[in-house]
Amino acid sequence: MTATDSAVRVVPLSRNRDYNVLWTSRLVSELGSELALIGFPLLILATTRSAVEIGLVATVMAVALLAGSIPAGYLADRFDRKIVMVVCEVLRAVAMGSVALALYFDAYSLPHILVVAAIDGLLVSVFGPAEDAALPSVVAPDQLSQAVARNTARPYIANLAGPVLSGVLFTIDHMLPFALNAVMLVVSTIALLTLRLPKGKAPALEDDEGEPVGLRWVWQHRPIRTTLVWVALVQLVFSALVVIVLAVSGEDQVGPGEIGLMMACFGAGGLIGAAVAARLHAALPASVIIIGFSWLAAALILVMAFTPGGILLGAVLGLIAFFMPVTVTTVMTYQMSVTADELRGRLSGLVGLFAGLAGAIGPIAGGALAGAGDGKTGLLACAAVAAVIAVGATLSPTLRRFPAPTTRQRSS
């Protein structure tokens, strides 16, 4: 336990103002990302109707997210994390405000949209590690898993609310999703200015023997390295799975409304799972959670291959989503607990890089599987890959004996 950790006053998370500031600001940031993610394609469809332009904007955002992952970790470890987060929100607000202003004056420009998409993606990738690294500084060590579990609810809230809100606002006026995004980011900035973060230890550049620390230490830590690979593989499967599920729905001629309900099942399952994740994490051994989820996911994806498209398929997808938050909580709690404060930003950056690469490759793989045959074949292939991951997790000595985060392992 560090001096920073011991100085944290133990209060319920609901009354911990600094934790709530962090939680809310990250939720606003993620909602803003969803508004932009849906708003940009809607804008292009309303102006040029170019699928190439839609793909180009999405690619620019994805590349910017990946490109910023590793530098973002260094920024979070070497500079004041509060300042890093504030600067990110301010610049994002300016960028999104410029889109709203351009649309107000009827001055749509693809180069402008591409620049804003790149700026937004880059700043989102920088904001995340700073917030992740700051979390253990504002909660007591024995509350970390509870805080991480609550944090897992944010993406599901953003995924449920963001697209609907963006679509409704865009219908009223094309500029509104971007204007609201800018306003929300200003509100997030004001909240972050009230955040109280203890001063962390100066970042260590070398150990006692003169060897550099940071990404090398993170990668050489076997449980962290193993979970990084495991998370990336799971992310790859689920990114592909969503595309295949949509393909199956198209084959079964499921209507747009029912497809929306299917994806809502995924979000609802994740939200419910996040509500009980802390209790499940406390009740079950980490190895049981990680390996058990691997096998459960493989089995449920196999069930999906024989489930008709529509609400039933969405219900099975939601059941998978229910178990995801406790798995994320287990992995992230361990990683944060054993990583020294001055290295947590680089840890988060590396996690973001692995997950981002998997998230970029997964949809392409899913599309290829769905295009090579029917949707059922794609789901069977996805289940087979998930089963291979489950076998690997079961055979892994590290995951079978996954340690509890009882002591903090320093980089020295």
The CATH number covering residue 108 comes to 1.20.1250.20
Strand-pairing partners, residue 206, are: 212
Interatomic CA distance for residues 129 and 110, integer angstroms: 30
CA atoms of 63 and 65, how far apart (whole Å): 5
Residues 41 and 148 reside in one and the same domain: yes
- Residue 22 scores a pLDDT above 50: yes
Q: Looking at the structure, do residues 228 and 116 belong to the same domain, yes or no?
A: no
Reported confidence tier of residue 206, pLDDT bands at 50, 70, 90: very low
**Same domain? 341 vs 266:** yes
- 185 plus 332 within the same structural domain: no
Q: Provide the domain count of the chain.
A: 2
233 and 357 assigned to the same domain: yes
- pLDDT band for position 252 (50/70/90)? low
* DSSP class of 306: T
Say whether both 238 and 185 belong to one domain.
no
Q: In percent, how much of the chain has pLDDT > 70?
A: 88
Tokens 């799972």 belong to which residue? 273
Domain shared by 136 and 266, yes or no: no
Two tokens, residue 412: 């020295």
Are residues 248 and 184 located together in one domain of the fold? no
CA distances 198 to 130, 138, 266, 341, Å, are 14, 8, 37, 11
Residue 84: which pLDDT band, with cuts at 50, 70 and 90?
very high
The answer to whether residue 372 sits within a structural domain is yes
Q: Which of 49-63, 92-106, 206-220, 355-369 has the lowest mean pLDDT?
A: 206-220
**238, part of any domain:** yes
Q: Is there a single domain that holds both residue 247 and residue 383?
A: yes
User: Does residue 257 share a domain with residue 162?
Assistant: no
Are 254 and 370 members of one domain?
Answer: yes
Please check whether residues 309 and 234 belong to one and the same domain: yes
CA nearest neighbour of 329 among 191, 150, 80, 104: 150
Q: Which residue has the higher pLDDT, 217 or 108?
A: 108
Cα–Cα distance measured from residue 408 to residue 398, given in angstroms and rounded to the nearest whole number = 17
Cα angle value 273/291/411 (rounded, 5°): 95
- Number of alpha carbons in the 13 Å side-chain half-sphere of residue 203: 19
Residue type, 192: L
Do the beta carbons of residue 166 and residue 177 sit within 8 Å? yes
Residue 210 lies in a domain: no
Name which of 24-28, 128-132, 261-265 the model is least confident about.
261-265
Residue 282 counted as domain residue: yes
Domain that holds residue 248: 215-400
Predicted TM-score (pTM) of this structure: 0.82
The residue among 86, 77, 262 whose CA lies nearest residue 187 is 86
Residue 405 falls within a domain, yes or no?
A: no
> Please, are residues 123 and 296 in contact by the beta-carbon 8 Å criterion?
no
Contact between 168 and 275 under an 8 Å Cβ cutoff? The reply is no
